[in-house]
Structure 1
Amino acid sequence: MNIPPAIATYLTAHNARDVDSAIASYATDAVVHDEGRSYHGRDAIRAWLTGAAAEYTYTTELISATRLDEERYDLVQHLEGDFPGGVVDLHFRFTLRGSSIVLLAIEP
């Protein structure tokens, strides 16, 4: 699957729990939407990555990656772990600006 470097770097870093490398993929004014909450800017995203996003142990498998237009990508990840329900397929909807992530929305 042809995924832009910023997204590929983020996914690899996130799966390895390498917060510094994951944060480097984001623009300074980026926003993450996850579980009904929004995290604005790198500091808030760092807190999300080290808090809510790290709360559970899970494995991921990239199921699909679709380029929606020049800036937007929709990736579907299959997660299995110790979170409520234990199994879920989630859309990771990325918007890029240049070589940085400006928006990530994680949704069922």
Structure 2
Amino acid sequence: MKLPKVVADLIDAQYHFNPDAYAACFSETALVHDEGHAYVGREEIKRWISKANSEYNTVMKPLSFEETEGGSLLTAEVSGTFPGSPVVLKFYLQIADGLITSLKIAG
């Protein structure tokens, strides 16, 4: 499956539990929505993913990727040490200038 470089980098950063590399995939003012919370900016995104990694050891296996009118959609199997693992989640992305500007994670 053909993925934009920033999406491939995001998946790789998650696979290696690297919050610095994960946050570097986002613009300085990026917005992430996950489980009813919003995280704004690289530093907040880095803290969020670092905490999630330490609690859940989450890895993503991409299942499909498509460009839509409103942005991009990555569907991935997410597994880790959380109840119900694995689950299939949808990652709605906005990408500009090679960086993620918005990410909404939904079940």
- Check whether TM > 0.5: yes
More displaced 10-residue stretch of structure 1: 56-65 or 97-106: 56-65
Q: Secondary structure at the match of 1:51?
A: helix
TM-score, normalised with respect to structure 2:
0.90
Closer, same or farther in 2 for the Cα pair 1:20/1:80, shift >3 Å?
A: closer
Instruction: Please state how far the C-alpha of 1:60 moved relative to its aligned partner.
Output: 2.9
Residues 83-102 of structure 1 correspond to what in structure 2 (within 5 A)?
Answer: 83-102=82-101
Q: Secondary structure in 2 aligned to 1:20?
A: helix
Gaps of 5+ in 2: none
TM-superposed deviation, 1:25: 1.1
Against the structure 1 CA distance between its residues 53 and 72, is the aligned structure 2 distance closer, same or farther, given a 3 Å change threshold? farther
Q: Secondary structure at the match of 2:56?
A: coil
From the superposition, tell whether residues 92 and 54 of structure 1 become closer, same or farther in structure 2 (CA, over 3 Å): farther
Q: Are 1:72 and 2:71 an aligned pair?
A: yes
Q: Matched residues, percent identical?
A: 30
Q: Matches of 1:15 and 1:72 in 2, distance apart? A: 24
RMSD over equivalenced CA pairs, Å: 1.6
> Equivalents in 2 of 1:17, 1:59: separation in Å?
8
Deviation at 1:6, TM superposition (A): 1.1
For 2:73, the aligned partner's letter is D
TM-score with structure 1 length normalisation?
0.89
Instruction: Tell me the matched-pair count.
Output: 107
1:7 aligns with 2:7: yes
CA contact (8 A) 2:91 2:106 kept: yes
**Matches of 2:20 and 2:33, distance apart in 1:** 19
User: Which residue of the partner structure matches residue 106 of structure 2?
Assistant: 107
Cα deviation 1:71-97 (Å, max 9, x = unaligned): 711011112332111221000111111
Answer yes or no: is 1:82 the counterpart of 2:90: no
Mapped to 1, the partners of 2:4 and 2:58 lie a distance apart of: 24
